[in-house]
Amino acid sequence: MNPQPQPRLTPQDYLAWERRQETRHEFFDGEIFAMTGASREHNLVCLNIAASLHTQLRGKPCEVYNNDMRVKVSETGMYTYPDIVAACAEPRFEDAEVDTLLNPVVIIEVLSDSTEQYDRGAKFRHYRTLPSLQDYLLVAQTECRVEHYAREAASRWLLTEYRSRDDTIDLPAVGCRLLLREMYERVPL
């Protein structure tokens, strides 16, 4: 016997359901995908980056959010939870709940074995359609390595890779600098 196909959810159905959940779920093309837990290293890297950005953004017109801020990629209909996201000037949200950001300027994903291929491939294809996005960082958690994709003219993305704890990443869209030694503080590599 073949199982009955599951009906596809609308974005409105997903949001109504997701807002009642205790765990996070991503959404694309009518399907819901559960988010898994993170390792100690993943959590340390995320916290280190978010703390650095939060400190640098004090008094500036930008905000940084951790992994609980949902982002909607309006052009493709994907809803996702980046590890870290920043918005500037006037953050725009999908509705009065103010829990789904529409205009991120920086998105940072900390890689894990289970998400690395997706973060590099399909997810980045979605993110690239966000007109507001200027910087996308992929941060390894098991080695000192950060890949920084910066938007250039004509929808080109420039990749710069950082591998030394002495390296500094400039994020001009938010007026911040990230030091790899601080990003990997207390992370056993």
* Maximum C-alpha span of the chain: 62
From first to last of its 189 residues, the chain has per-residue pLDDT tens of: 455 556 689 999 999 999 999 999 999 999 999 998 889 999 999 999 999 999 999 999 999 999 999 999 999 999 999 999 999 989 999 999 999 999 999 999 999 998 999 999 999 999 999 999 999 999 999 999 999 999 999 889 999 999 999 999 999 999 999 999 999 999 998
Closest residue by Cα to residue 84 from 131, 126, 139, 130: 139
Predicted pLDDT at 3: 57
